[in-house]
Amino acid sequence: MRDEAGHALTSQSDAVRLRLYDQALNIARIGAWECELETERLTWTPGVYDIFGYPMGNPLRRASIVDLYVDESRRNMELARAEVIRSGRAVTLDAEIRTWRGERRWMRLSIDMVREAGRPVRIFGSKQDITSDRQAIESLRQQAETDPLTGLANRFVFQARYSEVVGDSLNHGFASALVLIDLDHFKELNDTFGHSAGDACLCEVAGRLQRAFHNAGLIGRLGGDEFAIILRAPTNPARIARVLQQTVVMLSQPLFWNGLRIEVGASIGAALVGRPHRRRITELFAEADIALYDAKTAGRNKVHLFGDEGHSRAA
């Protein structure tokens, strides 16, 4: 009697512990998985089905599940899997997937291995939905790296990414010029129509620059009414001058805001990057600043280039 009562009590305690364990896994959005290496047979707990949005009645075929990984994450996952099988050391990585219904999610994937008779027979681990964490991190990164009004890169990021852009081996490091753009008479616009109109103007200018220079290495708002671009092409100074003159014309188109016609203008100064790319961005900024000053003193809607020959050229 005592043994039976004791056994019943133990079973009840085990059931409670198992329920609490399952509840904790559900709250943490964690599931467990296993894959037999010889047959590639997959076994999932409900939490993994939830992460992938995969119907529990559907057959689990590894090839179909692998296809749900985003390309880069699929490559990283396969490399990690092969390394675990080779070395026997557990690995954890973050991977991006598309669920069975097409929703993008991030998960933290752990992989470990079981050997029998010295031979790897199966791998296993956990998968945890970390989508909300990744979204929060991305939001913080965006806030830190972008201008909150226009969504362009801010000054800090623009300067930090300069070396990355000019050294981009995939694009052969093609960076031809650092371009500074300053809106003409922006203070008067703010004083006349108010800061809401000024903000609308800045957003419109940012949009025009993004559309015109979608292939540029980088576009940023440095602060106030000053914008900056790292051009990849063209590389010829005369062609750069023509492109920037066309930019002045484009930016000079009036802006219509709350039924008002607002005139917009811009002065542009540029410094040629030159080759090889051994010049510091501080040096280029100094030259582009000189060119911008020359453009502004020459009048409204002007372009000046500061070339390697050491003087400004008007356009």
Catalytic residues: 225
**CB under 8 Å to 129, separation ≥6 — which residues?**
29, 30, 50, 51, 105, 106, 107
Bond from prior residue into 234 cis (ω within 30 degrees of 0): yes
Phi, psi of 293 (to 5 degrees): -60, -45
Residue 125 pairs with which residues in a beta bridge? 33
User: Could you give the CA distance from residue 82 to residue 132 in angstroms, rounded to a whole number?
Assistant: 29
Backbone angles phi and psi of 234, in degrees to 5: -70, 170
Tell me the longest C-alpha to C-alpha distance in the chain: 104
Distance CA 124, CA 3 (A): 37
CA-to-CA distance for 180 and 225, rounded, in angstroms? 11
Give dist(CA 27, CA 6) in Å, integer: 32
**Residue 276, preceding bond cis, omega within 30 degrees?**
yes
Dihedral, CA of residue 269, residue 142, residue 202 and residue 207, to nearest 10: 80
- In single-letter form, the type of residue at position 275 comes to R
Query: Order of strands across the sheet with 312-314?
Result: 218-223, 226-231, 177-183, 266-272, 303-306, 312-314
